[in-house]
Amino acid sequence: MAAKISPRKEHFASPSPLSLIQKLVLQLKRWNHTSSREGEVVPLRDVATVREGSYDPSTWKSLDSRRAGIRNSDISSPTWTVLKILQHKGFDAYLVGGCVRDMLLKRKPKDFDIVTTASLRQIKKNFHRSRIMGRLFPICHVEIRGSIVEVSSFGTTHRNVKEREATHSSPIATNCDEKDFIRWKNCMERDFTINGLFYDPFKNIIYDYINGMKDLRTCKVRTVIPAHLSFSEDSARILRGLRIAARLGLQCSSDVTTAIHDLSSSIMNLNKSRLMMELNFMLAYGAAEPSIRLLQKFKLLEILLPFHAAYLAEQTSHQPTQSSIMLMKLFSNLDKVLSADRPSDCNLWLALLAFHLALVDHPQDALVVWTFASILFHGIWTKGVQFARENVIDVTFAPEISAPSGTKSNESLLEDVSHLASLVKSSLSSLTNTDALRQSMTRYPKLASCFCLILVSEKMGNNIAKLFDELEKDIKSYDKQRQKCEIDYELLKKGDQDETRFVLGKIIMDTMRTNLATEPSAKVTGKSSPLLSKLFI
């Protein structure tokens, strides 16, 4: 039976229309400078049209979580512990954001976020192993049995929201339920409508104040406030929006699409550590291939990964489909072994980028690439060489794979593998050094004018280089044989080098097995759509 979304008539007292309109107009006056397109000022009536629905209680809805198939057993044990303690102490506590969205989509959440009526100090007082983090939007990290649960307070307001309301605060609307008003106000501070859903697991109710359900049903990523204003407040929302679209197979709304095109270069105002964090969220959680597609579409890839953006621009000019391009195939196979709840450390996808960059600059015989990957996977050169010789097949990746160079002895093959390991290590400099990146970009003279932004530190580059040290220096002494073939995701998430080598070898071999076109992104969409159609009427 389809889960019915009920209007919130039974939960809300009728608010005063006058007080709501007054609050809306006062806030909109603070936002009147915002551009809908670069260089244009939005008239007050245009912004009001976009935002007016957010203040209309008739659009507020609630959903019985049980009819939507949400089970409280899906909530992690540490999260439940925090929720129950807060409730026992007399505070209201809700799950909020992406975890509610993902549970509705029958996906395992990456993490669970809690928002509560307790202040940050009260949270810290009730959980001894906790600490307050952040200055712009402080939250409390609560440690429960080795896991971190992120808890925010309704009493904490984002600095930009404070600025908007500093001179125009207004009381709660007459006859409006205080709890509903508090939840609604918190929604208005969030980034996207589908991240603004509240779930009360004690009452089994999901609250929707900003049409998040509707946007889930129509597979849209839409900002809570006008997109230009939202991205001007925090340009990281551009990357977050694309990450959500890539991971869930959703489409950006038209105003979000326009705003990203207009403001894409604003992400350069973010510090490098923040950019690296957002890029890792995109590439290490099972949606790297569709993320790369979207970053390229919106010309963000040329800022974040300029060499690979130039490579893709050249390849797509004469390839029938991106899925036949080796870089996209590598990331497609990366996505097959990762997911939101089984991520990797950034070392894995950075090693893939370095490996691919080395092949673009120095194409290799397929047997050499197979042997390189097979040794990483098997952990010993004898098994690696044997497996590669038995399984190598012809592939047509260009320019990465060169024509066969004839029969090779084991000695000759191992020399070539060691040389490839050296090339991969050298290619890391294009990810960590501006001059090296500029030199690499000379391969693409038409596209060489790039931002040359470096996100990878020398320390990170050195850690990745260690993955290939033994293959470069003494390959016959390399002995990292495994006792099992399954991936240890805890070790992979921590960046364990043996686990990273194993998975790296697997991804490269899977890529070399065939270069027949596939569409991994269709897998994501295919999972989402049937579930959405069952959830909503």
Q: Which residues are catalytic?
A: 111, 113, 191
Closest CA relative to residue 63, chosen from 532, 533, 528, 536: 536
> 503 — alpha (psi -120 to 50), left (phi > 0) or beta?
alpha
* Per-position b or e across 123-134, b if 16+ CB within 10 A of its CB: bbebbeebebee
> Which residues have C-beta within 8 Å of that of residue 252, sequence separation ≥ 6?
220, 221, 241, 242, 245, 260
Torsion angle, alpha carbons of 337, 340, 342, 345, to 10 = 90
314: how many CB neighbours lie within 10 A of its CB? 16
- Give residues with Cβ within 8 angstroms of 200, minimum separation 6: 92, 94, 206, 207
CA distances from 223 to 103, 157, 238, 436, 464 (A): 20, 18, 10, 39, 37
Q: How far is CA 330 from CA 96, 289, 335, 461, in A?
A: 34, 8, 9, 20
List Cα–Cα distances, 461 to 139, 367, 426, 465, in angstroms. 32, 27, 10, 6
Structure tokens at 472: 């470069």
